[in-house]
Chain A
Amino acid sequence: MPSYDTIVIGAGLNGLAAAHRLAAKGASVLVLEGADTPGGGAALSHLSYNLDPRVAAAMNLSAHGLEWLAANLATTALSPDGNHLRLEGALGDRLTGDVPAQDRAAWASLRARLLRFAAVLSPLNQMTPPRIAKGAGNPMVKLAMIGLRARLMGAADFRELGRILLTNVHDLLDDELTSPLLKGALAFDATLGGWLGPRSPNSVLPWLVRLSGQTAGVQGALGLPKGGMAALGTAMARAAAAQGVTLRCAARVSRILVEGERAVGVVLAGGEEIRAPRVVSALAPKVTLLDLIGPRHIDAGLTTRARQQKARGGAAKLHLTLRSLPDFRGANPKDRLVIAASEHAVEQAFNPVKYGQTPEAPVMEIVLPTAHEPAPDGRHRLSAIVQFAPHAPPDRDAARAAMLQACLAQLGAYAPGLPDLVEAAELLMPYDIEAMTGLPGGQWHAGELSVEQMLFLRPFPGLSQYKGPIPGLWLASAGCHPGGGVSGSAGWNAAAAMEAAG
């Protein structure tokens, strides 16, 4: 039986990215994946916005099958009366539709400012978070450069960054813009995948993090890969294999072997033991600590922190099979279609979720992949991310049914007759996503990407530098800095931290 010096648990993007980087430095790496195919949560997303350029380049993903059907997808903010608003280019570089002239000018300026702020903060994504402690060995030069670049934006911008950093999306948009449809689409984007409404303070920073991402070299652009987002996982798995990484699917790790307070391998669900001097968990930190290691081997304070880490998924995923292409009152079916009538509509969709209830009028982002790539069966597929959805309602089946009904009603209001085209419908609530992917709470980022769980507070205070709580164990999931999306950054950074540790 071959022996490995590194076991990576989980063949999601972060696990594969870490495995590739370690293998490229000469390690023999085994990746264990519980599911039948690699890719992890990526398959459940539907657009790419923050694939780490370092990962894409080093893994040469284009050579391993990654192709963009659209590398800079336009967005149409749908109006029920057909008076749509179209945002073309990265983050709505060009606006077409019925928008007041003052909004156009204001948006151009706000957009540029947001992208500038996001770009200034983006180097943080590509480093191990610093620690606020004396003698922590922080990369002071790098950090100073980030501060300097921020200051070089000018005093006005620098102060503005200090002002908006922890403010809320609603006020930020409301101060500058008037068009409800424009504000709605932007508020939707800003809160996508989080557990905050547009009015919640601290909702701007996660948006800036989102906007620090890029697709094919363009900041703020949305990419639709050929074959869907699952293709990203496939391409990464191929690249890792080409680098000599061994991938075993349908091999669920049930626990991490700990001997002498050191991680020495893993035990699979079937009982098989695999040993290696280094274990890298690309599963959510909460799962890693509480389920794979267990409270027995970590101190009580950390166990409490892990239990209390917030991981509330707020987004559901809707899949419809349709007899024919639906008509959203003339909107381009190749666009990303957003249903969010106003910033208030987004907030109102969030309100009931706070109490474990479902919204009556969910807001959503729709992609029709078959408008780009016709399916052999001539059917059309609609994929939507629907917000907000409760992660732990009292009655899960009832909540799912109510939510599906609300989604279809909402879709019918924007594309009359759409509900009659439906041949098959599947709605994955956050708890379904948890069951499928193991992400706690069905939370996209394997732990909410909220201010108090970011940077050196991610995943847990004092455990932010990828090194696990016991020797031999490393954390490399989206639950670590800089969080999720479909980026591979956390895995890449974790591998870099392992290299630095020798």
Chain B
Amino acid sequence: MVTLDALIIGAGHNGLVTACYLARAGLKVLVVEKNDWIGGAAVSRELFPGFTYSNCSYVSSLFRPEIMRDLELPRHGLQILPYEGGALFTGGGGYLGMFRDHEANRREIARHSPRDAEAYDRYSRDILRNCRLIRPMLMRRPPDLASVRPRDLAELAWLGKQITGQSETQVYDMLRFWTMSIADFLDGYFENPAVKAYQAVGSIIGTALGPMSPGTAYVLLHHAMGDVDGNVGSWGYSRGGMGSITKALTDSLRASGGEVRVGAGVQQIVVKGGKAVGVVLDTGEEIRAARVVSNMDVRRTFLKHVEEKELPDPFLKRVRAFKTRGSSGKLNIALDGVPRFPALPDGAPNIKGDLHFTDSIAKMEAAYDDWKAGHFSRDPFQDVMIPTLIDPTMTPPGKHFMSCFVQYAPPKIEGRDWTDADRDGFRDACLNQIEAYAPGFKSLILHVEVRTPRELEAEVGLTEGNIFQGELTFDQMFFNRPVPGYANYRSPIRDLWICGSSTHPGGGVMGAPGRNAAAEILRDMKRPAKDMSDAYAIV
């Protein structure tokens, strides 16, 4: 038997990205996956005959184009279809539309507030500028603040240069942007509640914070820094569902000689003499490997699959306190036809994009207050899409797939586990909200898959259902992610690595954590990182 150079736990997108890069560098690689399907939270499954769902993640923008190129994903079938726009429905029967084109957006905003249309130019410029600042940081290993090793110092110096390379005012504005609440931030630009609510969408998605919480302006950036075909901030559907991304990654991996085994859940990571040497599967089978890379979140990895005695107390304490509170749920719906939203003009392209029913920041915040009190939101915030209006490959002709991302849904209901009755209540709150804006919608429903944090944890393995594998707050970002002193994809156990969204730069279907982990592994092995573009200073 050939010994594995690397065994990767979890066939989510980051695990696969790591595996691909390692395999391309000539390593013998195996990915083990507990589920019978590949993809983790970037998955497409058929739960209703003839309908392919994007069961968890549902749109693409953040996936780093460098990674797509390096791993030749388009050649392996990946295609991102940009979508056209979106709409936010207002209480009075009106709507605020969004379009792909800046000028069209501007005109639409002017319909609600001429002043805000003026501000929209300034706002777009400021967002873009800050996205440009952040993007180079995504594909780098954060420095350790307390270290004096040359690499950490050089990394700090690089950071300092990024910051001081701006004008004084720009630095101040950047620092404000990174620390403010989106509510306060938007108050600096806009006056119309609907305009503000629409812009705030990206600031709360996946986040256990309300729009009035400081730090949410940064989360907006996190969602705005992606692109589709070079259009920064725009989003698209992965043709065939989000599972196409992980399918393309799997094909790419196999083409480089790597393997994936499904239905192979890991029971324990085997540690000998402070070094990871392999895993024991749920079946009792032991697989040896020179190194183990975990794509599971950091709490699952270290609290469930590693013996406590192998880890130093301060590290364990921080992992235990790592915040993974889930905040969202998801409804996946098979539809017999396209629901009609009377507020939208006939033929408006907006229905092909993201649809929202929360028309003020205050309503978003109130939905968050429910979460804080341990309830799902009675009047939830939803991000609704009908991808099949653009991508007909997911359903039979004339039928449609609707994806509803919902906030907020807590990991526990008032401290106890979710029950099926809670789940039904959650589902009804969402469906009723849509029905109110699209009468007759409910009669089109053929099947609904409801996913609360409970299902996300049970099926995908995300602790507490947190879709980012850990909240994206400053104490868990950059050099603090996942644990201060371990923001380098390593762990206290030699040859045990982490490559999931628990690590820098965090969640979303981005692939950057997986790539960065591969870069570090290869660097440690003194192997050239073959096919890794933009890889910095692999010495």
Contact = CB atoms under 8 A, between A and B. Distances in A.
Do A and B interact?
A: yes
Interface of A: 131-134, 151, 155-156, 158-160, 162-168, 171, 175, 196, 199-202, 308, 310, 347-348, 351, 354-355, 450-452, 456-457, 461-462
Contacts of B172: 132, 456-457, 461-462
Interface stretch (B49-57, B280-288, B432-440, B474-482): B474-482
B179 interface: yes
A136 to B, nearest CB: 8
Nearest to B144: A159
Given A347-B372, A461-B176, A156 B475 contact: no
Nearest to B147: A155
Nearest to B212: A354
Given A131-B168, A164-B475, A351-B369, 20 more contacts: A132-B171, A133-B171, A159-B145, A162-B145, A163-B475, A165-B475, A166-B474, A167-B475, A201-B215, A201-B474, A201-B475, A202-B179, A308-B187, A310-B184, A354-B212, A354-B362, A355-B365, A450-B214, A456-B172, A462-B168
B404 to A, nearest CB: 26
A204 to B, nearest CB: 9
Interface of B: 144-146, 163-164, 168-169, 171-173, 175-176, 179-180, 184, 187-188, 209, 212-215, 314, 321, 323, 362, 365-366, 369, 372-373, 473-475, 479-480, 484-485
B224 to A, nearest CB: 19
A168 B325 CA distance: 14
Across the A-B interface, give the 4 residue pairs with the lowest CB-CB distance, nearest first: A461-B172, A159-B484, A166-B474, A167-B475
B188 A308 contact: yes
Secondary structure class of chain B's binding surface, majority of residues = helix
A452 B484 contact: no
A159 B485 contact: yes
Nearest to A304: B188
B168 A200 contact: no
Given A452-B175, A461-B169, A462-B169, A162 B213 contact: no
Contacts of A202: 179, 214-215, 474
The residue in B163, B164, B215 that gathers the most chain A C-beta atoms within 10 A of its C-beta is B215
A354 B365 contact: yes
Secondary structure class of chain A's binding surface, majority of residues = helix
Contacts of A158: 145-146
B372 A199 contact: yes
A131 B167 CA distance: 12
8 contacts: A133-B168, A134-B164, A200-B213, A200-B214, A347-B372, A355-B362, A452-B179, A456-B172
B319 to A, nearest CB: 12
A131 B473 CA distance: 26
Given A347-B372, A450-B214, A462-B172, A167 B366 contact: no
Contacts of B175: 452, 457
A162 B479 contact: yes
B522 to A, nearest CB: 27
Contact of B484 (A160, A166, A310): A160
B474 A167 contact: yes
A352 to B, nearest CB: 9
A166 B365 contact: no
The residue in B144, B145, B168, B475 that gathers the most chain A C-beta atoms within 10 A of its C-beta is B475
The residue in B145, B163, B362 that gathers the most chain A C-beta atoms within 10 A of its C-beta is B145
A159 B475 CA distance: 10
B212 to A, nearest CB: 6
B169 A201 contact: no
Given A199-B213, A199-B372, A200-B214, A162 B480 contact: yes
